[in-house]
């Protein structure tokens, strides 16, 4: 089928001629601003709109609807030919029925590949293709100068183009041919590369989120995906089905680039920058933004396929089961930067209460104090001390047979994303919605985020405000992320901002929810002194 939309008196034999005005005697009288159009999906081989599109869609929503319908009815690779009055010409300016500026440049906003490049290179333009679910490639763009100008002056094409940017009545009209790229597939701009390499060395939670980004990239592009990371995290990264290889030094990256040199090269992305930490996006989405890619929640999940699962599950299998009617709670009492460390006494109180309730409490983490980082030493009668006993994959195996994890550290939280355990996260410098993992196609499935009663939290976002940053940055900028606190009462968030009562109550709710099914819809995180659920089992 060939569609002549807004045909007017340009009736074409062999086409389906469509117009809103019955007086022109079209084959079909149709208001193009009313969706859906009475045409089947992928039914049009060719579509023409001759001086029509500039009269449609005075509102952005209405115009978006027209573009969605064009994409829906077009067959894969169908050509859409659009003739339009140029918006800086009197033919457009004097016609009160012209409500939409159409140029070849404007139509690039509906090209998914162009939009991905804009996003990846931090351009100000924001593509409309992802939100509308359309993808039109420009295959030809012609500019027709005003006949009077041509008669008066002999200008070359470049001179005319320069004049048209700053003067009216230079270009009279344009003709743009688009090709409908189907199926709609984010990642178009990456198809020219032979492989993709992510570079993220630490910390552990950030690397696990890079694995989630790798999964989304793999699903979008089907390209070989590699991760350049620290040797300590290699074994963990190698369990990701999304990766085709794990590199631990720059020499290996050079070899990888040589390997794919003749097939498009390697699209390399350095994900170690501070911008990913302070982004208002979820960190996985911030990683993907560097590729110009958006992805659904189910593509951004953490998946770890441990080839030695039996071996790594040995510790968990040897544990006695919790007492009848009681459950297993993992506590990771992280010790680190003062703006992210809950006090030892509070961890001690929380563990004691849970042990008194009869639950099996297991302390996990590494006590190695590198630069005052690790976990607090907690000694509670009845609690199982598994600190320093488990590697990362053994920790994952334990999480798979436990009910609730409590932590302030994104490392164990992201590991837990590969399991069905309920996560209770304590957040201060970032929001839980920026860090809690995607699971079961849901952002924050089976998670509870607890935010402090602090007007500045999540405070990392204030680094985007130069005034606030200059007023409260530490003397040594190397300690910015570890000592950042714009509140005059320093580190109140992890001092008095989160009470043991709040965390204990959240854990009890999580334990009860773990026994219920099916999982309800996720709930948005709210800010305040109470535990705020953004997803529950």
Concatenate the DSSP letters of all residues of 149-179 into one string. HHHH----HHHHHHHHHH-SSSEEEEEEEEE
Quote the CA–CA distance of 233 and 212 in Å, as a whole number: 15
CA dihedral sign, ordered 338, 340, 341, 342: positive
Every domain of the chain and the residues it spans: 2-180, 190-299, 322-535
360 φ/ψ angles, rounded to the nearest 5 degrees = -85, 110
Q: Tell me the average pLDDT of the chain.
A: 89
The pLDDT value recorded for residue 267 is 97
Quote the CA–CA distance of 402 and 297 in Å, as a whole number: 24
Q: What is the mean pLDDT of residues 124-151?
A: 89
Q: What is the DSSP code string of 246-278? A: EE-SHHHHHHHHHHTGGGT-EEEEE--STHHHH
Predicted confidence band at 492 (pLDDT cuts at 50, 70, 90)?
confident
Q: What is the dihedral of CA 202, 207, 210, 215, to 10 degrees?
A: 160
State which H helix or E strand residue 349 sits in.
Answer: helix 344-356
Q: What is the mean pLDDT of residues 145-173?
A: 70
Q: Is 2-180's fold the same as 322-535's? A: yes
DSSP state of 301: B
Q: Tokens 């201060």 identify what position?
A: 428
Q: Assess contact for 439 and 301: CB atoms under 8 A.
A: yes
Q: Assess contact for 393 and 308: CB atoms under 8 A.
A: yes
182 φ/ψ angles, rounded to the nearest 5 degrees = -135, 150
Starting at the edge strand found earlier in the chain, the sheet holding 404-407 runs 384-385, 360-363, 328-332, 404-407, 422-426, 447-450, 532-535
452-480 tens-digit pLDDT: 888 888 888 878 777 777 776 666 666 77
The pLDDT value recorded for residue 532 is 37
| Superfamily designation of domain 190-299 | Glycogen Phosphorylase B; (3.40.50.2000)
The pLDDT value recorded for residue 536 is 34
The pLDDT value recorded for residue 4 is 98
Instruction: Judge whether residue 159 has pLDDT over 80.
Output: no
The topology under which CATH files domain 322-535 is Rossmann fold (3.40.50)
Instruction: Judge whether residue 10 has pLDDT over 90.
Output: yes
The pLDDT value recorded for residue 527 is 35
CA dihedral sign, ordered 524, 526, 530, 531: positive
Looking at the DSSP assignment, which residues form a beta bridge with residue 17?
4
Backbone torsion region of residue 382, taken as left when φ is above 0, otherwise alpha when ψ lies between -120 and 50, otherwise beta: left
The pLDDT value recorded for residue 153 is 55
331-347 tens-digit pLDDT: 999 988 888 889 999 99
CA atoms in the 13 A half-sphere facing the CB of 61: 2
pTM: 0.84
User: 373 to each of 126, 349, 458, 475, 491, how far by Cα in Å?
Assistant: 40, 21, 21, 21, 17
Lookup: tokens for 228 = 């350049």
Collapse the DSSP code of 405 into the 3-class scheme (helix H, G, I; strand E, B; otherwise coil) and give the result: strand
Instruction: Judge whether residue 370 has pLDDT over 70.
Output: no
Predicted confidence band at 535 (pLDDT cuts at 50, 70, 90)?
very low
Q: Which residues contact 500 (CB under 8 A, 6 or more apart)?
A: 346, 349, 350, 353
Q: What is the dihedral of CA 138, 69, 125, 114, to 10 degrees?
A: -30
Domain covering 2-180 assigned CATH 3.20.20.210 in the classification: no
Q: Is 185 exposed, middle or buried (0-12, 13-18, 19+ CB in 10 A)?
A: middle
Q: What is the mean pLDDT of residues 365-392?
A: 84
Quote the CA–CA distance of 248 and 251 in Å, as a whole number: 9
């Amino acid at each position: 089928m060939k569609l002549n939309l807004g045909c007017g008196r340009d009736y074409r034999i062999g086409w389906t001629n469509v117009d809103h005005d019955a007086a022109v005697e079209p084959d079909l009288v149709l208001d193009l601003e009313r969706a859906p159009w009475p045409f089947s999906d992928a039914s049009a081989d060719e579509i023409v709109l001759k001086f029509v599109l500039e009269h449609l869609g005075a509102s952005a929503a209405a115009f978006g609807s027209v573009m969605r319908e064009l994409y829906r009815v077009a067959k894969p690779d169908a050509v859409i030919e659009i003739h339009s009055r140029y918006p800086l010409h009197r033919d457009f300016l004097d016609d009160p029925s012209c409500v939409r500026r159409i140029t070849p440049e404007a139509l690039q906003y509906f090209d998914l590949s162009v939009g991905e490049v804009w996003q990846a290179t931090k351009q100000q333009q924001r593509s409309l293709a992802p939100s509308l679910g359309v993808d039109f490639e420009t295959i030809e763009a012609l500019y027709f100068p005003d006949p009077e100008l041509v008669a008066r002056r002999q200008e070359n094409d470049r001179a005319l183009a320069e004049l048209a940017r700053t003067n009216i009545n230079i270009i009279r009209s344009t003709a743009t041919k688009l090709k409908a790229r189907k199926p709609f597939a984010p990642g178009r701009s990456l198809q020219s590369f032979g492989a993709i390499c992510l570079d993220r060395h630490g910390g552990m939670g950030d690397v696990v989120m890079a694995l989630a980004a790798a999964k989304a990239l793999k699903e979008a592009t089907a390209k070989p995906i590699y991760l350049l990371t620290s040797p300590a995290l290699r074994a963990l990264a190698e369990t990701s089905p999304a990766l085709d290889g794990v590199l631990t030094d720059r020499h290996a990256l050079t070899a990888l680039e040589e390997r794919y040199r003749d097939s498009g090269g390697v699209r390399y992305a350095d994900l170690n920058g501070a911008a990913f930490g302070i982004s208002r996006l979820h960190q996985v989405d911030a990683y993907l933004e560097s590729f110009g890619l958006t992805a659904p929640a189910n593509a951004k999940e953490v998946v770890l396929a441990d080839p030695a699962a039996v071996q790594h599950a040995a510790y968990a299998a040897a544990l006695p089961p919790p007492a009848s009617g009681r459950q297993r709670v993992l506590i990771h009492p992280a010790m680190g930067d003062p703006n992210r460390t809950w006090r030892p006494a509070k961890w001690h109180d929380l563990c004691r209460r849970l042990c008194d309730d009869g639950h099996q409490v297991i302390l996990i983490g590494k006590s190695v104090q590198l630069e005052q980082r690790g976990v607090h030493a907690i000694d509670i009668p009845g609690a199982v001390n598994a600190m320093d006993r488990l590697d990362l994959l053994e920790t994952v195996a334990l999480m798979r047979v436990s009910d609730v994890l409590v932590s302030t550290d994104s490392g164990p939280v992201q590991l837990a994303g590969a399991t069905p355990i309920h996560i209770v996260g304590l957040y201060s410098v970032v929001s839980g919605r920026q860090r809690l993992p995607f699971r079961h196609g849901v952002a924050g499935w089976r998670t509870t985020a607890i935010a402090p009663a602090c007007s500045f939290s999540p405070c990392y976002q204030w680094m985007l405000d130069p005034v606030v940053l200059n007023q409260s940055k530490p003397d040594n900028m190397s300690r910015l992320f570890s000592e950042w606190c714009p509140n005059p009462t320093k580190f109140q968030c992890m001092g008095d901002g989160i009470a043991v009562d709040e965390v204990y109550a959240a854990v009890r709710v999580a334990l009860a929810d773990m026994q219920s099914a099916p999982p309800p819809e996720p709930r948005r995180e709210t800010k305040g002194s109470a535990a705020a659920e953004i997803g529950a089992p």
